[in-house]
């Protein structure tokens, strides 16, 4: 432990599996590990929490989770929880972190990543709404992904100064030296154009939409390929040999593959502020995404759930034959503002931004 270091305990899912929140946790850990004057640990509460890994602590059960939270809070570590905010377990974990923060001067940061969080909070019963209100009252800083989430939190009486709207995209790491898996390399060689997406588990992620759009585009693009990265299995007979399920890839590998796509698609039915969309934009890859609560500038949006509109927007994007935009200076994402939150918490305890 470096003397006089600012200490941050990141709480959340740690990969594998690779997904939105787990990738955010791993990227943030890597950034903090390289930051002079900081010490960082991860408390893994995901599927790998029982594993022994040098880069993170595991929470074997509820009591172990609570004990590790209290120990770090008593040692004046900043606690930063990454969670969805759209289920009971998410808010019980948030309440545990916020309560532990009573030992460190409320140096607790809560990042709510799901686009479903506002609806879940609104529909919650009286007991869970009390849990949510108490959690938010005890938390030092609440980070949400878009204006709608911010409004839902503010409606519970949370002071505006405690709520910050930030993306979960903390910037790109180096990808130019990352090797693309041979199966993916072969697929990229045989298909053009290549449409890509993240294959997350659940109907809300809209995989049938992108598959149907790919089928409809094949007459115009006989060599078109659809490349899906992620844990979800997916079958579509009429895509024949034009579909590749790349499976779960390490984050740097996924970025290298994404950078080779002609279009990246995010066909979800809800979103907070998807990191994968910002990653594709930062790599200079055109993005077509559903019109959820928020999409950053530069995204081509289609009407949610409408395969005809998705097909039209993909056809327009592929047919424009514009040169791919060159990435500008390295986009640090929200990392500088997250770091500023840590700095203020280290100096002042409870934060009013």
Q: Is residue 177 part of a domain?
A: no
Per residue of the chain (353 residues), give pLDDT as tens. Answer: 554 579 999 999 998 878 788 999 999 999 999 999 999 999 999 987 877 788 899 888 899 999 999 999 999 999 999 999 999 999 999 999 999 999 999 899 999 998 899 999 999 999 999 999 999 999 999 999 999 999 999 999 999 999 999 999 998 865 556 789 999 999 999 999 999 999 988 888 999 999 999 999 999 999 999 999 998 888 888 998 999 999 999 999 999 999 999 999 999 998 888 899 999 999 999 999 999 988 999 999 999 999 999 999 999 999 875 545 555 445 678 999 999 999 999 885 444 43
Paired tokens of 215: 């089928």
Domain of 17, CATH number, reads 3.40.50.2000
User: Do 155 and 268 belong together in one domain?
Assistant: no
Output the CA torsion sign for 44, 48, 51, 52: negative
- Report the domain count for the chain: 2
User: Do 129 and 36 belong together in one domain?
Assistant: yes
Q: Which residue has the tokens 């938390």?
A: 139
User: Do 88 and 134 belong together in one domain?
Assistant: yes
Residue closest to 248 by CA, chosen among 234, 232, 236, 261: 232
User: Do 227 and 301 belong together in one domain?
Assistant: yes
Residue 351 is predicted with a pLDDT of 44
Phi, psi of 221 (to 5 degrees): -135, 85
| CB burial of residue 244 (10 Å; 0-12, 13-18, 19+) | buried
Residue 228 is predicted with a pLDDT of 96
The Cα 294–Cα 188 span in angstroms is 31
Q: Is residue 1 part of a domain?
A: no
Q: Is residue 115 part of a domain?
A: yes
Residue 176 is predicted with a pLDDT of 59
Report field, pTM of the whole predicted structure over 0.85: yes
Residue 325 is predicted with a pLDDT of 52
21 contacts 82 by C-beta, under 8 angstroms:
yes
User: Do 166 and 108 belong together in one domain?
Assistant: yes
Q: Which helix (H) or strand (E) holds 310?
A: helix 307-319
CA distances to 208, 291, 313, 343 from 299, rounded to whole Å, are 21, 10, 11, 32
User: Do 219 and 90 belong together in one domain?
Assistant: no
User: Do 190 and 55 belong together in one domain?
Assistant: no
Q: Is residue 114 part of a domain?
A: yes
User: Do 82 and 208 belong together in one domain?
Assistant: no
Residue closest to 228 by CA, chosen among 184, 273, 268: 184
User: Do 105 and 233 belong together in one domain?
Assistant: no
User: Do 10 and 124 belong together in one domain?
Assistant: yes
The Cα 131–Cα 153 span in angstroms is 13
Q: Is residue 109 part of a domain?
A: yes
DSSP state letter for 81: E
User: Do 19 and 154 belong together in one domain?
Assistant: yes
What is the pairing mode between strands 141-144 and 287-290?
Answer: unpaired
Range of the domain at 165: 6-170+333-348
Q: Is residue 176 part of a domain?
A: no
Q: Is residue 79 part of a domain?
A: yes
User: Do 199 and 341 belong together in one domain?
Assistant: no
Residue closest to 103 by CA, chosen among 132, 58, 66, 153: 66
């Amino acid at each position: 432990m470096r003397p006089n270091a600012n200490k941050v305990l990141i709480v959340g899912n740690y990969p594998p599996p690779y997904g939105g929140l787990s990738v955010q946790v791993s990227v943030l850990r890597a950034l903090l590990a390289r930051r002079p004057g900081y010490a960082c640990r991860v408390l893994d509460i995901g599927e790998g929490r029982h594993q022994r890994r040098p880069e993170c602590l595991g929470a074997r059960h509820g009591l172990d989770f609570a004990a590790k939270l209290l120990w770090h809070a008593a040692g004046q570590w900043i606690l930063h929880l990454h969670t969805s905010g759209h289920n009971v377990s998410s808010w019980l974990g948030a309440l545990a972190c916020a309560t532990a923060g009573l030992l460190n001067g409320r140096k607790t940061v809560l990042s709510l990543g799901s686009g479903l969080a506002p609806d879940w909070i609104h529909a919650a019963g009286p007991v869970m709404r009390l849990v949510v209100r108490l959690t938010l009252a005890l938390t030092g800083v609440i980070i949400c992904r878009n204006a709608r989430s911010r409004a839902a939190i503010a409606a519970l009486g949370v002071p505006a100064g405690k709520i910050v709207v930030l993306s979960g995209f903390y910037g790109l790491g180096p990808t130019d030296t990352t090797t693309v898996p041979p199966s993916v390399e072969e697929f990229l060689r045989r298909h053009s154009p290549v449409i890509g997406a993240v294959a997350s588990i659940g109907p809300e992620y809209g995989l049938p939409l992108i598959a149907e759009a790919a089928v409809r585009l094949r007459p115009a693009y006989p060599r078109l390929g659809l490349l899906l990265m992620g844990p979800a299995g997916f079958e579509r007979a009429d895509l024949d040999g034009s579909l590749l399920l790349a499976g779960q890839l390490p984050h740097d590998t996924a970025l290298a593959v994404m950078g080779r796509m002609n279009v990246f698609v995010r066909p979800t039915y809800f979103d907070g502020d998807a990191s994968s969309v910002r990653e594709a934009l930062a790599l200079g890859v055109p993005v077509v995404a559903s019109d959820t609560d928020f999409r950053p500038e530069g995204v081509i949006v289609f009407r949610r759930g409408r395969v005809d509109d998705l097909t039209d927007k993909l056809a327009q994007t592929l047919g424009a034959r514009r040169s791919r935009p060159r990435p500008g200076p390295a986009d640090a994402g929200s990392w500088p503002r997250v770091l500023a939150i840590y700095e203020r918490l280290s100096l002042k305890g409870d934060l009013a931004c």
